[in-house]
Structure 1
Amino acid sequence: MTVPGSNVAAPPTERRTLSLIDHILNVFRLVIKELRSIKADPTMLILVVYAFSISVNTVATGALTEATNLSVGIVDEDRSDLSRQIAEALVPPTFQPAVQIRASDIDREMDKGSLILVAEIPPRFEADLRAGRKTSVQINVDATAIAQAGNASSYLKNVISSEVQNFLSGREGAKASPINLVVRARFNPNLKTAWFSAVTQVINDVTMLTVILTGAALIREREQGTVEHLLVMPVVPAEIMIAKMLANGLVILVAALLSLRFVVQWWLGVPIAGSPVLFIGGACLYALVVAALGIMLGTLATTMGQFGLLAMPVLMVTQLLSGSSTPMESMPVWLQYVMLTISPTPHFVAFAQAVLFRGANLSLVWRPLLAMFVIGSIYFAFALSRFRRVIFGV
């Protein structure tokens, strides 16, 4: 604008310097806006409810690693008291009642899939054991499902070994075993897979949905053009980004806590050993970290389709190599260092398992919390830089 009667242009109106209170109020108003946007998206809300309720229960109860209700056949060519004891020891819920078959029927029954296991007890089995002669029992296994086959054969071998040991130790003058091994399982005394997989699924859902909600919120505004409205408002990029992280992280945290209380503890009956307050604190930090990751991915993609294609491999790698599915120690050493350096998920998995399963206190889990904070700070700085450049062009 030029002042009349002068050739000198007037300086542009300067934006008022915002105080700390102004920044806090701006973030609060933007958080309310984001929560209203989430409320207006019923599809996303249904996804969150499903993921933290039905999905958790389905994964915990439907994908068990224990072998149960195994069909087993017995080829009893000895017809002795010991062979009958072995057959009677195969009891539910691990085994179905043993089926007596002939040796000529083994291939036919296993080809049909009627039997997973078949134990062949040879003639004079008990007599050879009484005489101290070496003998053997052949176990045939249907290894179509390799995980079930491995567990099933181990269970059957343990039953046979236990019955033979009891038989030999009951003989007059037999020597007792020099070692009495007593195994006590802590934190999961019944070794139930559901106790582990239910909590693990909640952890995975926190990662996946926080990234998706945060990134999708940014992509949606860019596609609809509403993000340009923020450019004329007295807000700074950091406020917009923090508001998106807080709003979407809050929704996921509330859903995760309700899932732990009503689905994991009440529906599935899984005990939570540690402090819920400590877990909430660590989960809040982790939610902000992965929310920053979602913002970063949202700035790298321009459409919702691109965001989905970009997020899928990132989420698959972070979850599969987080230590929740397989132990970190089973990975190559170099891969362990890479994941612990670039991903916050292994640290959160270690933190959550220590608190929820083993009842660890802050003195035992401060290292994973510190690692998440450091990695999150780097994510936030990079995401904010991308957000300024892509959205605001600065």
Structure 2
Amino acid sequence: MKFLYLVKKELLLFLRNKGLLIFVIYLFTGDIYIAANGIDLSLKHAKFYTLDYDMSYESRELISKMVPPWYNFQGYITDSKQIESYLMKDKAVGILVIPENFNENIKKNKLDLALYLNGADASTGYLFAGYTTGIITDYYLEKVKNYKNQIAKIDLRSRVLYNPNTKSKYFLALSELFSVITLLVLILPAASIIREKDEGNIEMILISPLSIRKLIAAKLLAMTIIILLGTTVSINLIIKTALHIPVRGNQALFLLLTIGYIFTTMGLSLFIASISSNMLQVSQLAILFLLPILFLSGSWTPYESMPLIFQKLTYLSPLKYYLDAGYAVIIKGLGLNFVWFYIIMMFLMGLPLFIIGTFFINKKL
């Protein structure tokens, strides 16, 4: 019963800390909403010009396929010398060059085009090239099939599962939620312990019947409750209602995953509290641990794009397992028979971290 009173005390202290309360509410609501809508990984309003040496019906028809909101056609240029000038001055993301006899070449089952890209913004240039190549390929196949005795040599069909419209906000919203949980798991327990140091309560606790271990356990349980409540509100209020992202899996299973991840990461929070003297140091050390966890999780950079040594190091990031399992539950609707492996891996990683963190905090206090 005394332990429950301690948990209640920690929750009340959190609610009375207006600054921290507003910060947590914002992270679970506004931050996730802005991250989902403020960043778009799809091509939007990309400016481009065309140098058309053919000026045929077919060449104009091809240009007409590149429509808003993905493209923003700026017009025609008349000289190849203008290409470099337009790209150097960032007037365009890309310039499409259509050669002479374009329509005749298509009738002969030939396709010869040039696409110049502005590589200053590599991600936008990559998207522009991908979208444009797809449009050109579809146009070419359509035209070839319309001519007598011509057989299309390519027949590509794609089917996107779980996110048929390939909306980037699905990934961005969930990725931001996972990052927010990681940040709060690192900061909240450590901040709660440091507050006791700042207020001089540690000395009073040492001479009271209350043990330090019970106090720390109460703080960890209270912070876990706060994070779980914030996660539940974020999923139902922001992800499902505001962003209209379908949550196909069992929310209880996702919260179970979250509990496992909190346990995995709280050991680092205890270690931060043991070597910090004030809140400023807690914040600095939390960022120091947060960045490698995020970088190695695959949330910012695809696993396949990393150097080989970093690919191996990703297995040391607890967030990697939480991400894989979380996406599987929320987006794909998979159950415990799939995610049990990730729960075990998080527990195996979390146990030594928790033991180390507990050892250092007990030694320090």
User: 1:226 aligns to what?
Assistant: 201
Of 318, 324, 331, the residue aligned with 1:357 is 331
Matched length? 364
Write the deviation string for residues 359-385 of structure 1: whole angstroms up to 9, x where unpaired. 111111111111112222222222222
Deviation, structure 1 residue 208:
0.4
Q: In the aligned structure 2, how far is the partner of 1:276 from the partner of 1:190?
A: 24
User: 1:163 aligns to what?
Assistant: 139
Of 86, 89, 100, the residue aligned with 2:76 is 100
Of 140, 157, 167, the residue aligned with 2:116 is 140
Do 2:86 and 2:92's aligned partners in 1 also have CA atoms closer than 8 Å? yes
Of 270, 282, 301, the residue aligned with 1:326 is 301
Do 1:214 and 1:244's aligned partners in 2 also have CA atoms closer than 8 Å? yes
Greater displacement, 68-77 / 200-209: 68-77
C-alpha distance 297-339 of structure 1, shift in aligned 2 (>3 A): farther
**What is the aligned-residue RMSD (CA, Å)?**
1.9
Of 50, 54, 66, the residue aligned with 1:74 is 50
Do 1:76 and 1:120's aligned partners in 2 also have CA atoms closer than 8 Å? yes
Of 211, 214, 219, the residue aligned with 1:244 is 219
Q: Which runs of 5+ in 2 are unaligned?
A: none
User: 1:19 aligns to what?
Assistant: none
User: 1:12 aligns to what?
Assistant: none
Q: Does 1:376 align with 2:350?
A: yes
Q: In the aligned structure 2, how far is the partner of 1:384 from the partner of 1:312?
A: 20
Q: Which 4+ runs in 1 deviate beyond 6 A?
A: none
Deviation, structure 1 residue 266:
0.8
TM-score after normalising by structure 1: 0.87
Do 1:82 and 1:164's aligned partners in 2 also have CA atoms closer than 8 Å? no
Q: Does 1:261 align with 2:236?
A: yes
Write the deviation string for residues 277-300 of structure 1: whole angstroms up to 9, x where unpaired. 101111122223323321221002
* Matched residue SS, 1:235: coil
Deviation, structure 1 residue 319:
1.2
Deviation, structure 1 residue 108:
4.0
**Equivalent AA in structure 2 for residue 349 of structure 1:** L
Of 256, 276, 298, the residue aligned with 2:273 is 298
Share of identical aligned residues, percent? Answer: 26
Task: Show the 5 A alignment for 1:37-186.
Answer: 37-97=13-73, 99-103=75-79, 104-131=81-108, 136-177=112-153, 180-186=155-161
Greater displacement, 45-54 / 371-380: 371-380
Greater displacement, 376-385 / 108-117: 108-117
C-alpha distance 381-131 of structure 1, shift in aligned 2 (>3 A): closer
* Matched residue SS, 2:50: strand
C-alpha distance 105-87 of structure 1, shift in aligned 2 (>3 A): same
C-alpha distance 57-337 of structure 1, shift in aligned 2 (>3 A): same
Q: In the aligned structure 2, how far is the partner of 1:88 from the partner of 1:211?
A: 52
TM-score after normalising by structure 2: 0.93
Deviation, structure 1 residue 57:
1.3
User: 2:187 aligns to what?
Assistant: 212
Compare CA radii of gyration and give the structure with the larger one. 1
Q: In the aligned structure 2, how far is the partner of 1:234 from the partner of 1:49?
A: 35
Task: Show the 5 A alignment for 1:2-17.
Answer: none
Do 1:72 and 1:117's aligned partners in 2 also have CA atoms closer than 8 Å? yes
